[in-house]
């Protein structure tokens, strides 16, 4: 408990330096490692399925994906489901901040499933 006569100090600034903005969005870390060709669903490969999936992530204040949802489908459920499973498990972020403190946030991006020729 803090007595009324105790001086209160602000929390220290982040390690990267003083806070310069009131709010920042989550920032993905190593997004190129989240989904790769080795992750292509075998059934999608057999059927020659390709497409672009747009995904919205709900990111915790610790930078982990809490949930993800399809914004725009690839047109193929197997690719949409694989995307959600992979990014939920592998996605990492620098969390959003408000007044220099980590807070939950949202991030939207697209993943292209393409079979190399």
For the four alpha carbons of 104, 107, 113 and 114, in that order, the dihedral sign comes to negative
**Whether pTM exceeds 0.95:** no
CA–CA distance, 101 with 22 (Å, rounded to integer): 10
Question: Which residue carries 């807070």 as its tokens?
Answer: 103
For residue 48, the model assigns a pLDDT of: 96
Give the C-alpha separation, 101 to 34, whole Å. Answer: 26
114 touches 63 (CB < 8 A)? no
pLDDT at 3: 27
End-to-end CA distance of the chain: 66
Q: Which CATH class is domain 29-113?
A: alpha beta
The reported pLDDT for the residue numbered 23 is 87
The residue ranges of every structural domain in the chain are: 29-113
Please state, in angstroms and rounded to a whole number, the distance separating the CA atoms of residues 17 and 23: 15
Coil/strand/helix, residue 45: helix
Please give the Cα distance from 103 to 99 (Å, whole number). 10
By the 8 A CB rule, do 105 and 96 touch? yes
Give the separation between CA 53 and CA 114, rounded to whole angstroms: 11
Q: pLDDT tens per residue, the chain (117 residues)?
A: 222 333 333 444 445 556 666 889 999 998 888 888 899 999 999 999 999 999 999 999 999 999 999 999 999 999 999 999 999 999 999 999 998 899 999 999 999 999 988
The predicted structure's pLDDT at residue 11: 41
């Amino acid at each position: 408990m803090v007595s009324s006569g105790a001086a209160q100090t602000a929390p220290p600034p982040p390690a990267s330096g003083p806070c310069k903005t009131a709010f920042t969005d989550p920032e993905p870390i190593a997004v190129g490692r989240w989904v790769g060709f080795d992750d292509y669903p075998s059934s999608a490969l057999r059927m020659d399925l390709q497409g672009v999936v747009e995904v919205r992530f709900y990111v915790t204040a610790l930078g982990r994906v809490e949930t993800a949802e399809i914004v725009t489908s690839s047109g193929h459920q197997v690719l949409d489901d694989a995307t959600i499973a992979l990014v939920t498990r592998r996605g990492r972020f620098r969390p959003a901040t408000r007044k220099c403190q980590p807070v939950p946030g949202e991030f939207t991006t697209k993943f292209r499933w393409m079979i190399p020729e």
